[in-house]
Amino acid sequence: MSEVIYDFTGNPFVDAGIWAICGLVKKKPDELDKNDLKSVLSDVVQLYLTKKWSKNMYSIFPNNPVTNPSVKNKEERYLKILNQLVDEITPLGNSGSCISCGRRNMLQRSGKDRIPLTGSKRMVNYFSFGADGADYCPACALAVQFTPLVFYACVNLLLVHSNSEKIMKIWSQKAIKNVRKQISSGNYTGCFDEGYKNQKNALFHIIELIQKLKERPDLKKNNLSINFYYFTNYIQNPDLEIYHIPAPVFNFLYDANDIGNYENWMRIVRKGYRYVNWEKVKEENEYKNNPNTVYDNLLIGKSIIGFFIDRKNKEAIGGWDLLGHYLEEVRNMDEKRIETIKKVGDELAEYIKDSDDIKTLKKLETANNYRNYRNLLRIIIKKRIENGAENPLFSFDDYVNHLFPEGNLTWRETQDLILFRIYEVLHDWIIQQGISEKLIIEEEEEEAENV
């Protein structure tokens, strides 16, 4: 019979705890035995009893021996509970009443002092069927006791959970490294904390940390996703928010965080911060907790195309390559449409430059309804033919199926993408023209006078 204790359960708290133990003893989940578990109990309890860690415990395990003020011999009491759980562990079987692994039986029901966000023992009024807790087997309940080691503090706590063992491994190692640093320096600062107070920004930072680690384990091609559980188990107001990062967004971020794109991606992200006076900003801490529309939009599936465009400096941030990844991966735009828009952008750029017609660029930028925009393209088509252009700007099929497939609904998106491409191709030329705003206004005035 197999002696394996731990396998992937799908329960975020239990899995995080299993990987925390793995990080401590440097083994894989299925290699852990009772000796491994016993070997780390004392160090962990002592860590939890330090000032900052015990403060975190109020939001994780309220009323456990560490946080319960009436318990005097805290270390002894908590160790006794943990040792008892280890003693009760049996290897994984085929079935059982545990709601986490389903492969062992619950022996004693766990309340919120042991498993966050479960029942409150005698205060049963808010739980289904008046249950006083949740059915966790000793092995799963024990694993959860290690989760504080891999939580990320940003006011409340973030729990990282993924369907990928590699991600779980990378993250637990990163967090345990932070714990070891605290122990070796004697400077106990509590759960992993880098000064984030905004959980959405923090979770994108965590993704960046995971993706930038050296190992880079085929993260992209395996269609991995991550969930973040932002919670507090604080006795007065327990709370939970769940953020799901689907595989397409994770894949795109993998490209964005890549060395070649990172600097540009950070420019795009910085454009997303709200309420920042960039003239006065000296360091990251002054803005990293402000709400960020780029991050918010990625979380709710709204477009961030506009943030790739620097309208003031007529610049296409990140180039077509990075934007193309975004359109394909996250917006699920079909390749033919992306190609067509790029081609039309190229042709328009060529036309503007060859005919020295910066006024047309201005019109492409400022057209504010679908009808005007179509009219403008029609005029350009006519002028191109007059100039002897060999190929049409676009075919009827391109127009209907790829440029404006949903007409009035998505024409703005097409306008932005075309503009992006023109800026990318013509940036140097436009700068040479001195972004001729003044010139255009003068010309328009002249035209008006001539009418």
Binding site for Zn ion (CB under 5 A): 98, 100-101, 104, 137, 140
> Could you tell me the smallest distance in angstroms from the CB atom of residue 138 to Zn ion?
8
DSSP letters, 269-308, are HHHHB-S--TTT--SGGGTTTS-BHHHHHHHHT---GGGG
- Nearest distance, CB of residue 48 and Zn ion, angstroms: 22
β-pair type (156-162, 226-232): antiparallel
Indicate the residue among 98 and 377 with the shorter CB distance to Zn ion.
98
Least CB distance to Zn ion at residue 97 (A): 9
Closest CA to 144 of 72, 88, 68, 85: 85
φ, ψ (nearest 5 deg) of residue 153: -85, 125
For residues 427 and 316, is the Cβ–Cβ distance under 8 A?
Answer: yes
SS3 content of the chain, % helix, strand, coil (to 5): 55, 10, 35
**Smallest distance, Å, CB 272 to Zn ion?**
41
Residue closer to Zn ion by CB (options 143, 344) is: 143
Across 284-373, the runs of DSSP E, i.e. the strands, are 309-310, 315-316
Which CB atom, from 108 or from 355, has the smaller least distance to Zn ion?
108
CB of 4 to Zn ion, least distance (A): 13
Which of 85, 137 has the CB closer to Zn ion?
137
Write down the least CB distance from residue 98 to Zn ion, Å: 3
Q: Is the dihedral of CA 412, 414, 420, 423 positive or negative?
A: negative
Minimum distance of Zn ion from residue 5's CB (angstroms): 10
* Closer of 11 and 67 to Zn ion (Cβ): 11
- C-alpha span between 143 and 393 (Å, rounded): 63
CB 251 within 8 Å of CB 329: yes
> Which residue, 94 or 237, is less far from Zn ion as judged by CB?
94
- Other beta carbons within 10 angstroms of residue 178's beta carbon come to 16
The nearest distance, CB 159 to Zn ion, in angstroms, is 18
Per-residue buried b or exposed e for 67-80, using 16+ beta carbons within 10 Å of the residue's own CB: beeeeeebeebbbe
Give whichever of 104 and 314 is closer to Zn ion, judged by the CB atom. 104
Q: Is 134 helix (H, G, I), strand (E, B) or coil?
A: strand
Terminal CA-CA length for the chain: 94
**Which residue, 131 or 439, is less far from Zn ion as judged by CB?**
131
Q: Which helix (H) or strand (E) holds 153?
A: strand 152-154
* Edge-to-edge strand ranges of the sheet holding 239-245: 152-154, 156-162, 226-232, 239-245
Residue 101 or 316: which CB sits closer to Zn ion?
101
Which helix (DSSP H) or strand (DSSP E) does residue 413 occupy? helix 411-432
With respect to Zn ion, which residue has the nearer C-beta, 93 or 246? 93
Rounded to a whole number of angstroms, the minimum distance from the CB of residue 140 to Zn ion is 3
CB of 158 to Zn ion, least distance (A): 24
Amino acid 36 reads: D
Cα–Cα distance measured from residue 189 to residue 181, given in angstroms and rounded to the nearest whole number:
10
